Amino acid sequence: MMGMFCRKCKSLMPPNSKRCIACGATLNPNDISNQSSLDGLGPKRKPVELVAEENKDAPYLPYKPRGCQLDIISDIRMALDEGRHIIIESGTGTGKTIVSLSAGLEHAKKTGKKIVYLTRTISQSNQVMRELKAISKIKPVSGLTITGRNKSCPLFRGTKDYESLSPKVLSMMCEEKRSKSMKGAAGGCRYFDRIKTEVDDVTNYVMNNFPTSDELDRYCEKNGVCPYEMKKQLMKKFDVVAVPYVHILSADIRSNLMANLDLEDNPEGMLLIVDEAHNLVDAARDQESFIINRDLVDNAIDECSTMKGDPTVWMEVTLKDFLGYFKNSIRNVATEKLGLNEKEVVLTDDYIEQRMMTKFGMKSQDLESAIERVIDFGEARTEILMERGDNRVSDIQSLGFLMRDWCSSASDRFVRSLKVDQDGEYLSAKCIDPYEISFFLNSIPGAIHMSGTLQPLDQYARVLGLKGNPRFRIYPSPFPPENRSVLYVNDVTTQQKEMQKDGSMQHRLENYIAMLCNSVQKNTLVFFTSYSFMRMMRPYLETHVNKSLYWEESRNQRKTMENLAAFRNGRDGVFFSVMGGSVAEGMDFPGDELCFAIIVGIPYPPPSSEQRAMSAMFDQRYGAGKGWIYTSEVPALRKMKQAIGRLIRTETDRGMAVILDNRASRYVKQLDAKLTDDPAGEATRFFR
Ligand code: SF4
């Protein structure tokens, strides 16, 4: 039967729905389509042939092996059996998901380990379930996908402001409901109440059907049971659990995951598979980074007025005075340290903390205990807000946690700075050395890290802080190399210095893009280095490219998806995007959906205090020059390879990429690129 999907958010709807169960939109027949947001986004590959009987070299591989799959499985198996991490770059078409699962399962079944498969997107975790289902045809195996509470809570979904609730608030709201349910009191959660009675049925459903995350949520809801809590209960029974990155990167969520898997005291019992591993380090840095903005501080100070009495945080120091002086300290440091027209000053010392301590005559442990009092007051205030039905965390509590993080971020692992924007000054702590995840990864005996763009592999291991003796392996794509052509031109660049020097550079770049787009009748993707570059060139391109044009919208994912769907449905359109964005990475464009890519500039990260600090850190650790390579060159190359990688997704795809930047000459070998002075002519001939 054909599924029905909400036109607004593209979620799957049960039959005869009056309201979208995901976004809460009211539905009439015109609001329902038979296409989900992910439909058509997956590759339409040739079906792979299932094996008739078990392959003794790869007992968990359900397909006839192709290319170097048996080598990959054997290499992974050997590394895991030796208790080592294995770091793999393997080209498109090598079947990364199936080979890592096949090898991982062989090791995990033998050793009694649980596989935790880290994915970046829901479609990747759905792919894990599809492959497990195929494996189940030849071997007993089970798997489950986990998503956050905000995707799976049927009780609160559809209520006012649901989409803007923070995970923390939703967790508190849920906890309150569950505690009432457990006490048998009124006002509990009816979906939680049914877990015990439904657990066997849902277990059987998952074991037999390998549902995607969406399918499992719908099944649970149909049976009146909470999908999120059910998955928590079930996960220890399954061989493979697919989870988003944050389940490992956040220390709190990770410890819950380990407890739910019964691995709390036994991290060695986990076999980790990291999909799209080139994203892991940045995701880990982002996880630990934070800001304290002016609005939050102001709101917390205002909130003090709503509290009874004038509570003190230390000796005679009131909460309001303490937070008020925190705000003054930020402002004073800004006045003293920021020069005219400067937007940022790196704080190499604990200026803010010192000011607070001097003002109130505190020692550092006094400051810490005062901040703990702020958190206590904040928590009490949050309880009142929740009881009142405000469904939000107190600003005092949020600020208290961030002040605590700020004090503990005074280390080489963070770049702490004071920044100013149109809303005023704020504090920023950017993590440059994600020690948390390194520590965890080094505590487990082996994991599989894989990606299509991970070279240089030793750099990945170093940046991640992996100790021991990881195994490095590179496997080429099995697709015919002649199906792909990468060219570059040497008479333009997006280098800022050159663009400032040469007033005609922007126009020459625009002219190149328009000429190339108009030279072939093929679906074309144009990748820019940033949204601001794309915006700058948009007016010219809109009037000079004679095609249907589609744009990635920087803060509007839904609109981007609609534009993308329209682009994919046609065969002679141009989609304008940025490198490193959701379109340039992780999306498949098989066959004629994409044939031509134009890369405008080399996507070196923009200079920033974090970049400089990271570069200096790697220079110091690994030798002069390594910092630039690790923090600028390698990320830029990965982004270009990801963008070029969109062209060839199946064995019959043909595609060409043209890089509009003379600096590509430095990366001829890594990109397999050739110089041309007639890219439009070359493109016409390639596609003729
Ligand atoms: Fe929502 Fe489940 Fe919590 Fe009930 S138990 S509030 S359905 S997450």
Rounded CA-CA distance 239/250 in Å is 22
Nearest CA to ligand 1 atom 2: 226
User: What pLDDT band is residue 39 in, cutting at 50, 70 and 90?
Assistant: very low
CATH 3.40.50.300 positions along the chain are 38-141+239-293+432-477, 481-687
In this predicted structure, the answer to whether residue 5 has a pLDDT above a threshold of 60 is: no
* 360-380 pLDDT, tens digit each: 999 999 999 999 999 999 999
- Give pLDDT, residue 152: 87
Cα Rg, the chain, nearest whole Å: 27
In this predicted structure, the answer to whether residue 17 has a pLDDT above a threshold of 80 is: no
| Among the listed residues 150, 424, 166, the one whose alpha carbon sits nearest the alpha carbon of residue 296 | 424
Atom of ligand 1 nearest to the CA of 227: 2
- Give pLDDT, residue 422: 87
- Give pLDDT, residue 45: 52
Q: Please give the structure tokens belonging to residue 147.
A: 């998503």
117 beta partners: 242, 273
Question: Looking at domain 481-687, which of 1.20.272.10, 3.40.50.261, 3.40.50.300, 1.20.1050.10 is its CATH number?
Answer: 3.40.50.300
* Dist. CA 167 → ligand 1 center (Å): 12
Instruction: Collapse the DSSP code of 290 into the 3-class scheme (helix H, G, I; strand E, B; otherwise coil) and give the result.
Output: strand
Alpha helix stretches (DSSP H) within 68-166: 69-81, 96-111, 122-135, 149-152
Q: What is the average per-residue pLDDT within 578-601?
A: 88
The structure tokens 């457990």 sit at 182
pLDDT, greater one: 13 or 554: 554
Q: What is the average per-residue pLDDT within 519-538?
A: 96
Sorted by sequence, the CB contacts under 8 Å of residue 624 that are 6+ apart come out as: none
> Angle 364-387/395-408 helices, nearest 10 degrees?
150
Contact 655, 525 (CB under 8 A): no
Q: Please give the structure tokens belonging to residue 251.
A: 């220390």
Q: DSSP code of 303?
A: H
Sorted by sequence, the CB contacts under 8 Å of residue 284 that are 6+ apart come out as: 249, 431, 434, 436, 437
Least confident of 8-22, 26-40, 207-221, 472-486: 26-40
Mean pLDDT of the chain: 91
Sorted by sequence, the CB contacts under 8 Å of residue 119 that are 6+ apart come out as: 125, 128, 242, 243, 244, 245, 275, 276
Instruction: Count each helix (H run) and each strand (E run) in the chain, helices first.
Output: 28, 23
In this predicted structure, the answer to whether residue 269 has a pLDDT above a threshold of 50 is: yes
- Give pLDDT, residue 159: 78
Rounded CA-CA distance 647/589 in Å is 7
In this predicted structure, the answer to whether residue 432 has a pLDDT above a threshold of 80 is: yes
Contact 145, 212 (CB under 8 A): yes
User: 494-533 as b/e, with b when 16 or more CB fall inside 10 Å?
Assistant: bbeeebeeeeebbeebbebbbebbebbebbbbbbbbbbeb
Q: Give a three-class secondary structure readout of 200-215.
A: HHHHHHHHHHCCCHHH
Rounded CA-CA distance 448/88 in Å is 8
Q: What is the average per-residue pLDDT within 589-600?
A: 94
Contact 218, 14 (CB under 8 A): yes
The structure tokens 């980074």 sit at 289
Q: For 275-370, where are the E strands, in sequence order?
A: 290-292, 312-314, 317-318, 344-346
* 142-154 pLDDT, tens digit each: 999 999 888 889 9
Output the CATH code of domain 38-141+239-293+432-477. Answer: 3.40.50.300
pLDDT, greater one: 554 or 631: 631
Rounded CA-CA distance 477/470 in Å is 23
* 227-250 pLDDT, tens digit each: 999 999 999 999 999 999 999 999
* Dist. CA 168 → ligand 1 center (Å): 13
Residues with CB under 6 A from ligand 1: 149, 153-156, 174, 177-178, 189, 191-192, 226, 228-229
User: What pLDDT band is residue 569 in, cutting at 50, 70 and 90?
Assistant: very high
Q: Give a three-class secondary structure readout of 458-475.
A: HHHHHHHCCCCCCEEEEE
DSSP result, 11-54 = -EE-TT-SB-TTT--B--GGGEES--TTTTTS--PPPPPBPSS-
- Give pLDDT, residue 163: 77
Rounded CA-CA distance 21/19 in Å is 6
346 beta partners: 417
Contact 290, 429 (CB under 8 A): yes
Kindly give the pairing relationship between strand 548-551 and strand 471-475: unpaired
Nearest CA to ligand 1 atom 8: 153
* 195-225 pLDDT, tens digit each: 999 999 999 999 999 999 999 999 999 999 9
In this predicted structure, the answer to whether residue 40 has a pLDDT above a threshold of 70 is: no
Sorted by sequence, the CB contacts under 8 Å of residue 267 that are 6+ apart come out as: 258, 440, 443, 444
Atom of ligand 1 nearest to the CA of 173: 6
| Among the listed residues 482, 472, 470, 416, the one whose alpha carbon sits nearest the alpha carbon of residue 446 | 470
Least confident of 19-28, 178-187, 667-676: 19-28
- How many residues are recorded in the chain? 688
Which amino acid is it at 561? M
Q: Burial, 72: exposed, middle or buried (Cβ in 10 Å; 0-12, 13-18, 19+)?
A: buried
In this predicted structure, the answer to whether residue 33 has a pLDDT above a threshold of 70 is: no
DSSP result, 417-477 = EEEEETTEEEEEEEESS-HHHHHHHHHSS-EEEEESS--SHHHHHHHHT--S--EEEEE--
Contact 209, 181 (CB under 8 A): no
Which amino acid is it at 250? S
Q: Burial, 536: exposed, middle or buried (Cβ in 10 Å; 0-12, 13-18, 19+)?
A: middle
pLDDT, greater one: 591 or 595: 595
- Give pLDDT, residue 517: 98
- Give pLDDT, residue 13: 43
Rounded CA-CA distance 608/346 in Å is 11
* Dist. CA 199 → ligand 1 center (Å): 15
Q: What is the average per-residue pLDDT within 538-556?
A: 94
Contact 589, 649 (CB under 8 A): yes
How far CA 158 is from CA of 6, 20, 310, in Å, comes to 13, 8, 39
Mutate which of 174, 180, 193, 199 for ligand 1? The one with the most ligand atoms within 8 Å of its CB, which is 174
* Dist. CA 175 → ligand 1 center (Å): 8
Which amino acid is it at 358? T
* Dist. CA 337 → ligand 1 center (Å): 48
> Angle 395-408/319-337 helices, nearest 10 degrees?
50
* Dist. CA 118 → ligand 1 center (Å): 24
Sorted by sequence, the CB contacts under 8 Å of residue 665 that are 6+ apart come out as: 488, 490, 675
Q: What is the average per-residue pLDDT within 469-498?
A: 96
Q: Please give the structure tokens belonging to residue 525.
A: 């993707």
Nearest CA to ligand 1 atom 1: 153
Rounded CA-CA distance 114/109 in Å is 8
Atom of ligand 1 nearest to the CA of 177: 6
- Give pLDDT, residue 142: 98
Least confident of 63-77, 104-118, 291-305, 580-594: 580-594
Least confident of 35-49, 294-308, 614-628: 35-49
Q: Please give the structure tokens belonging to residue 491.
A: 């008479």
Q: What is the average per-residue pLDDT within 35-56?
A: 59
176-263-147-207 Cα dihedral, nearest 10 degrees: -110
273-278-279-283 Cα dihedral, nearest 10 degrees: 80
Mutate which of 156, 173, 202, 221 for ligand 1? The one with the most ligand atoms within 8 Å of its CB, which is 156
Mutate which of 149, 173, 180, 191 for ligand 1? The one with the most ligand atoms within 8 Å of its CB, which is 191
CATH 1.10.30.20 positions along the chain are 152-234
Output the CATH code of domain 302-422. Answer: 1.10.275.40
- Give pLDDT, residue 586: 67
Range 152-234 classified under CATH 1.10.30.20: yes
User: What pLDDT band is residue 32 in, cutting at 50, 70 and 90?
Assistant: very low
In this predicted structure, the answer to whether residue 8 has a pLDDT above a threshold of 60 is: no
Which amino acid is it at 25? A
User: What pLDDT band is residue 47 in, cutting at 50, 70 and 90?
Assistant: low
* Dist. CA 565 → ligand 1 center (Å): 33
- Give pLDDT, residue 148: 87
- Dihedral pair phi/psi, residue 330, rounded to 5°: -60, -45
